[in-house]
Amino acid sequence: MLFSLAWRNIWRNKRRSLIIISAIAAGLLCGLFASAIMFGMGESLVTSTINRDLGHIQIHSSQFEDEKLLTDTIPNPQKIVEEIKEEKNIKGITSRIVIEGMGSSATTSNGLRIVGINPEQEKSVTNIYEQIVEGNYFENARRNQIIVGKKLAENLGIKERSKIVLSFQGFDGSIIYGAFRVTGIYQTESTAFDRVNVFVREKDLLSLLGSQMISHEIAIRMNSEQSADTLYSVLKSEFPTLSVKSWKDLAPELKLMDEMIDTQLNIFLGIILFALLFGITNTMLMSVMERVREFGVLMAIGMKRRRVFSMIMIETISLSLVGAAIGMVCASILIAYFGSTGIDLSTFAQGFTAWNLSPVLQPRLPGTFYVSITIMIIVIAILSAVYPAIKAIKLKPANAIRTY
């Protein structure tokens, strides 16, 4: 009976109720969509970094990360790769030769990170092969082919089929030079990455070095984040003399952002709901003051004050939940639509790539976020109802009945 009476009271003034419901729905719609964009940007940054270079786990020699010297190689890399392949939930694994060097064109030179790869193995770990905008990804068997970033190509004034000379220090300290032909130009979400990273076949690097198989880095891609955490613990114990790091260790700023983003979004929506609190309180206070005589009659005929208090609470929570439900449904539809089509901001691509972000935004919110918002709405509704409800139960029936 109390619920039925509270529901009818909400619609006694339809215009006022519809206004506050619309305000709650609009506030949540905008807040959730903005949160979805921020969450999607954060997730995109983490995903693109893993896809572009890191993988989920990397293995190096314990000395390599300090100075990145050519001699700091992983002992028996092929054996380690074969052992890791036996583990479950591995999507791909590749070994790399990583050398700090210089790249020179006919006009200028640039510092480089030269990465020697097995092209087929690299495909299973990173998506550089999908980012080719000119040329191809090692499609023919010619020697000394190189793939460069678009930003580096612009800096060096080179294009597809241009020649670039790489120079780096050999094992004996002498400077090694090698002429490479540009077979492909890639473009990722990160201009910083594109500016310094070049990819060549590892066998071409080994030929210049006059060396047998070596590896400075083993990168592993997993089927899921959970399986990556499990394998990380296993590899740490299996290879105690090597440096085994997850993407969270390799990019701690992304780990911090990944951990903080839910809290940040909850605070953001909390501020929006806190602003709505005053609107809901004002609406319910007006509703109470218009029904002073009614409350007086109800208490005079025996309705207990706690039931009056509960009725106002139910009215406020119901009003808020209706607005919240409309807002969340509209927001989920909008997020689902733009999550699949994306929001193309290619006009501002240069600014986005400077921050390692894709210019195509794909909003997304986890389902658990809607649960926390529903709880926040109920809490805000209860807080909004307290003052109007106290005003109602403090009325004296005899005086309230005389009010017109």
Note the pLDDT tens digit of each residue in 122-155. Answer: 999 999 999 999 999 999 888 999 999 999 999 9
Which long-range contacts (C-beta less than 8 Å, at least 24 apart) are formed by 205-212? 205/97, 205/99, 205/114, 205/116, 206/97, 206/116, 207/143, 208/176, 208/178, 209/70, 209/170, 209/171, 209/176, 210/170, 211/171
CB count within 10 Å of CB 243 equals 18
Q: Terminal CA-to-CA distance of the chain, rounded, Å?
A: 26
Q: How far apart are CA 313 and CA 95, in angstroms?
A: 63
User: 352 burial class (0-12, 13-18, 19+ CB within 10 angstroms)?
Assistant: buried
Question: Hey, what are 98's tokens?
Answer: 């990583």
The angle subtended at Cα 277 by Cα 272 and Cα 278, nearest 5°, is 110
- What pLDDT score does 351 carry? 62
Residues of the chain with pLDDT under 70: 1, 348-357, 403-404
Q: Which residues pair with 59 in a beta bridge?
A: 218, 244
Cβ–Cβ under 8 Å, residues 126 and 136: no
- What pLDDT score does 353 carry? 63
Helix/strand/coil percent split, the chain, to 5: 60, 20, 20
Q: How far apart are CA 377 and CA 117, in angstroms?
A: 53
Question: Hey, what are 391's tokens?
Answer: 């005003």
Cβ–Cβ under 8 Å, residues 282 and 350: no
Q: How far apart are CA 317 and CA 24, in angstroms?
A: 12
- What pLDDT score does 295 carry? 82
User: 60 burial class (0-12, 13-18, 19+ CB within 10 angstroms)?
Assistant: buried
- Rounded to 5 degrees, φ, ψ at 350 are -60, -40
Which long-range contacts (C-beta less than 8 Å, at least 24 apart) are formed by 336-344? 338/362, 338/363, 339/36, 339/40, 339/363, 339/364, 343/37
Q: How far apart are CA 216 and CA 73, in angstroms?
A: 5
Q: How far apart are CA 141 and CA 116, in angstroms?
A: 15
Q: How far apart are CA 187 and CA 352, in angstroms?
A: 13
Question: Hey, what are 58's tokens?
Answer: 């990397």
Q: How far is CA 344 from the centre of its chain?
A: 17
Cβ–Cβ under 8 Å, residues 359 and 349: yes
Q: How far apart are CA 297 and CA 301, in angstroms?
A: 6
| Spatial CB neighbours of 30, under 8 Å, sequence gap ≥ 6 | 272
- What pLDDT score does 38 carry? 86
Residue 358 is classified by DSSP as -
Q: Which residues pair with 147 in a beta bridge?
A: 184, 199
